[in-house]
């Protein structure tokens, strides 16, 4: 009876959190859409030379796909933030318009911000939440995109430093190599330079820090489920569709590490495999529920684009049109560059030597079967994402999902050496 009551309570709380997130999400967007856009447009115009220099898909290390930025989407974000809405605040917050220029591939915002001649039109992009506007609009009142890029870099490096410090204190440096390797695959230079790539980085890294620093947030099935539900909600609110599974995988891996190490009593909470399944289900409910709500909200202002949404879903999945194997091979190829190949070869050699030394010193750890299976599941999740979203995964930035596979594999190897306790 208590178990049934607990499930009902969890379901009620999950529905309430999702509903409140939708309401709060709309309110926050309405508030920032009240801000004047004249100064925002002027600050966007101040970066005209930067936009024209990099164009839409700039490789900061020339012709290396791993270093490609998404200037197209960044300019769309700046264009949405600085768009001078003429409709009601609610209408603008739900429709998320930006300026589009005929016959120009992504450079329209740069031209429009400097009042260049051309044939412009407003375009709505209501199928996403555009939650990034709640910080981008206020920032554009005080600084131009060049400085926003620098600020982005500073914040990200502070978070990485704090994450590594937390790992060092919690596990005496164990697992730090695996986490750093995951961040290298994500490419933190590019995430600092590109707003499009930043949302998942922040949600993932902050999620890892929260799991490690505040175990109570994921202690017990109720808290654990709601934590990952909220993670899925945040991804749907802030991200377009870049590399979402990483925001699930990375924090969940930190939980599994604590489960394996028996830190803060996590070991007694749940079976590792069930933990992955539970986190995946609730994260998906949060992600799909939050994103799906945005498809219906424009009906409040008389706009019905559900047919377009269904078209986009079919197009993004690419099932029957794009080979799954082709997608995976293409993503792996992005990482097949000499510096990364040498780095990961050295890492693999180091972990193998470490494993052998653990056996020789009789410090080899016999891991629980459910933990091993759970980490294998973590390795598979990013690959499964490629299967579901095939066409979209052809975009260069989608190789970042492999950060989850690589990080999980390395963590598993590290786990066989001696355990560390708090």
pLDDT (0 to 100) of residue 268: 46
Tell whether the model's pLDDT for residue 262 goes beyond 90.
no
Tell whether the model's pLDDT for residue 305 goes beyond 60.
yes
Mean pLDDT (whole number) for 281-287: 96
- How far CA 274 is from CA of 84, 218, 285, 415, in Å, comes to 49, 14, 16, 19
**For residues 115 and 331, which has the higher predicted lDDT (pLDDT)?**
331
Tell whether the model's pLDDT for residue 414 goes beyond 80.
yes
SS3 391: coil
Q: Would you state the structure tokens that stand for residue 322, as one six-digit string?
A: 């794009």
What's 35's DSSP letter? S
208-217 residue pLDDT tens: 999 999 999 9
Secondary structure element (H or E) that encloses residue 270, with its range: none
- How far CA 324 is from CA of 31, 328, 407, in Å, comes to 42, 6, 22
Which of 418, 54, 381 lies closest to 260, judged by CA?
418
| Mean pLDDT across the chain | 88
137-154 residue pLDDT tens: 999 999 999 999 999 999
Residue 377 backbone dihedrals phi, psi, to 5 degrees: -60, -40
Mean pLDDT (whole number) for 118-131: 87
pLDDT (0 to 100) of residue 392: 80
Q: What is the full DSSP assignment across 115-132?
A: T-SS-EEEEE-TTS--TT
159-181 residue pLDDT tens: 999 999 999 988 888 899 999 99
The pLDDT confidence band at residue 419, using thresholds 50, 70 and 90, is low
Q: Choose the weakest-confidence range: 61-75, 185-199, 383-397, 402-416.
A: 383-397
Count Cβ atoms below 10 Å from residue 309 Cβ, excluding itself.
17
pLDDT (0 to 100) of residue 213: 93
CA angle 381, 383, 386 (to 5 degrees): 115
Domain ranges in the chain are 10-133, 152-415
SS3 262: coil
Beta strands in 207-291 (DSSP E): none
**For residues 390 and 372, which has the higher predicted lDDT (pLDDT)?**
372
pLDDT (0 to 100) of residue 118: 72
**Percent of the chain with pLDDT strictly greater than 90:** 59
Q: Would you state the structure tokens that stand for residue 371, as one six-digit string?
A: 């933990």
Tell whether the model's pLDDT for residue 22 goes beyond 50.
yes
pLDDT (0 to 100) of residue 364: 66
Count Cβ atoms below 10 Å from residue 259 Cβ, excluding itself.
23
Query: What does the buried/exposed string (b/e) look like for 348-375 if buried means 16 or more CB atoms within 10 Å of the residue's CB?
Result: eeebeebeeeeeeeeeeeebeebbbebb
Mean pLDDT (whole number) for 111-139: 88
310-320 residue pLDDT tens: 776 666 665 55
């Amino acid at each position: 009876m208590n178990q049934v009551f607990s499930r009902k309570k969890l379901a009620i709380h999950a529905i309430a959190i999702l509903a409140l997130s939708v309401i709060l999400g709309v309110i926050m967007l309405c508030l920032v859409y009240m801000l004047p856009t004249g100064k925002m447009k002027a600050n966007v115009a101040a970066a005209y030379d930067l936009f024209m220099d990099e164009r839409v898909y700039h490789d900061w290390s020339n012709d290396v796909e791993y270093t490609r930025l998404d200037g197209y989407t960044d300019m769309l974000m700046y264009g949405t933030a600085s768009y001078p809405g003429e409709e009601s605040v609610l209408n603008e917050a739900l429709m998320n318009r930006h300026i589009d220029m005929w016959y120009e591939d992504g450079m329209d915002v740069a031209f429009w911000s400097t009042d260049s001649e051309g044939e412009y039109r407003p375009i709505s992009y209501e199928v996403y939440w555009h939650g990034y506007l709640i910080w981008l609009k206020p920032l554009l009142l005080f600084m131009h995109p060049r400085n926003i890029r620098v600020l982005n870099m500073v914040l990200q490096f502070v978070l990485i430093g704090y994450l590594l410090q937390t790992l060092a204190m919690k596990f005496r440096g164990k697992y730090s190599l695996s986490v750093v390797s995951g961040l290298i695959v994500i490419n933190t230079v590019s995430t600092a330079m590109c707003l499009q790539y930043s949302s998942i980085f922040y949600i993932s890294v902050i999620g890892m820090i929260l799991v490690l620093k505040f175990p109570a947030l994921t202690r017990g099935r109720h808290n654990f489920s709601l934590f990952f539900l909220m993670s899925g909600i945040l991804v749907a609110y802030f991200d377009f569709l870049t590399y979402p599974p990483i925001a699930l995988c990375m924090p969940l891996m930190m939980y599994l590490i604590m489960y394996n190490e028996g830190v803060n009593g996590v070991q007694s909470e749940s079976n590792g495999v069930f933990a992955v399944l539970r986190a995946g289900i609730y994260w998906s409910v949060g992600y799909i529920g939050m994103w799906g709500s945005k498809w219906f909200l424009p009906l409040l202002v008389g706009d019905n684009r559900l047919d377009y949404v269904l078209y986009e879903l079919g197009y993004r999945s690419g099932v029957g049109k794009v080979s799954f194997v082709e997608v995976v091979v293409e993503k792996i190829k992005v990482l097949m560059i000499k510096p990364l190949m040498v780095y990961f070869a050295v890492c693999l050699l180091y972990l193998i030597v470490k494993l052998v030394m653990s056996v020789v010193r009789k410090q080899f750890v016999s891991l629980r079967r459910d933990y091993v299976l759970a980490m294998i599941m973590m390795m598979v999740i990013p690959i499964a994402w490629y299967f579901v979203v095939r066409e979209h995964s052809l975009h260069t930035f989608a190789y970042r999902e492999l950060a989850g596979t690589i990080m999980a594999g390395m963590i598993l190897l590290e786990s066989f050496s001696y355990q560390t306790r708090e």
